[in-house]
Structures are given as C-alpha cells and as structure tokens.
Amino acid sequence: MTAGQPTGPAPIIVTALFGTEDFAWLDGLRRRHFPPERNVVPAHCTLFHHLAPELGPELKQRLSAATRGVPAPAAQIAGVLDLGGGVGFRIESEALGAVRADLAEAFAPMLVPQDRAGWRPHVTVQNKVARPEAKALLDELRSGFERRPLRIAGLASWWYRGGPWEAYSRHMFA
C-alpha cells in the first residue's frame, strides 16, 4: 500500500482519488484555468489538510480498513462554487462524508482548526486569479451546468513539504 517512505517529518494530507475519466476531465480544467506557476498538485478533493506525521501508521491502517473490499462511494458533481479568486465544483457524497467523519472522530484531539471547522467537499479548478477572471470562468461553468456522477476510486495520503506533494499511501475501493 505504501507509495513512498518518509524522508523526514512533514504534515500529511488526505485526499479522495477520482476515477480515470473524471480525473482527466477535472485535471484538464485545472491545467487550463489554474495559474501554471501555482498548479503544483493535480485535481483532488481534500479530506484533511494537515495531520501530524506521527499519525501516519495509524492513518494507513484506517484508510485500508475504510477501502479494502468496500464498494466505491456514490458521489456527484453537484454545483459550481465561487471561491472568490477562483472556481471549483461542489462534491456530494454521503458515504465519503461518513468515511471522513469516522477519521475526524478518531483523530479529533489532533486536528488542526482548519480540519476541525467542518468539511466542504470540492475540487478546485481555478484559484488565486483576479476576480474578473474568476467571475468569467464561474459564469462559463454555471451556464448549462448539470449534475453528474463522480467516481471516487480510492483514498490517498501525501507528505506536504511545501511544493508538490510526496505520495505516502494509496487505498483503492473495491
């Protein structure tokens, strides 16, 4: 299950992994609309922004238990989000929310305020641009928007070292 071994203490990020076709579509939008110098990670849905590195072994066990033999959670792209200086898609998934809630409960005393504040599942396709540019993409994506299924293929954890993330573990749904 381990994609990488730690090369030193670093916070851990947890994300949902998208199915191949959904990832290609979302990451393509991200590459087109995200400022290239800031686009250092592919399209993703963050479950946790910052877990302490010492939680790594327990986190891997919990992610394995949450995915091994478990069907992929039903999910949908449910709307277009105005992020101020960017745009994203809102994700709805009760089952993925339940997985996140279980992990949040297990790690509650160690969660940073950002991860304690609640979860707004989404994928960012544009960020850190001037408001007129964000508003133009927001209007474009909202025009004719229709809800669509989203395949959640698995969960992953990553070491955050200030730039591109370093893979720590991947856990695929059945």
Domain that holds residue 157: 12-172
pLDDT score for 5: 52
- 6 within some domain: no
CATH number assigned to the domain comprising residue 69? 3.90.1140.10
Predicted TM-score of the model (pTM): 0.92
pLDDT value for 7: 56
Distance CA 57, CA 110 (A): 15
In a domain, 48, yes or no: yes
- 107 lies in some domain: yes
Is residue 146 domain-resident? yes
SS3 123: strand
Tokens of 28: 């393509």
DSSP-derived secondary structure letter, 34 = S
Q: Is the pLDDT of residue 15 over 60?
A: yes
Stronger pLDDT, 8 or 116, i.e. the higher one: 116
The answer to whether position 1 is within a domain reads no
Domain count, the chain: 1
d(CA 98, CA 162): 29
Give residue 100's pLDDT.
98
Q: Which two tokens stand for residue 119?
A: 């979860």
Tell me the pLDDT tens digit for each residue of 103-153.
999 999 999 999 999 899 999 999 999 999 999 999 999 998 999 999 999
150 with 16: CB under 8 angstroms? Answer: no
Q: Over the stretch 86-104, which tens digit does the pLDDT of each residue have?
A: 999 999 999 999 999 999 9
Reported as a single tens digit per residue, the pLDDT across 49-99 is: 999 999 999 999 999 999 999 999 999 999 999 999 999 999 999 999 999
* φ, ψ dihedrals at 22, nearest 5°: -65, -40
From residue 170, how far is each of 13, 47, 125 by CA, in Å? 12, 14, 23
Mean pLDDT of 35-48: 94
The answer to whether residue 164 is domain-embedded is yes
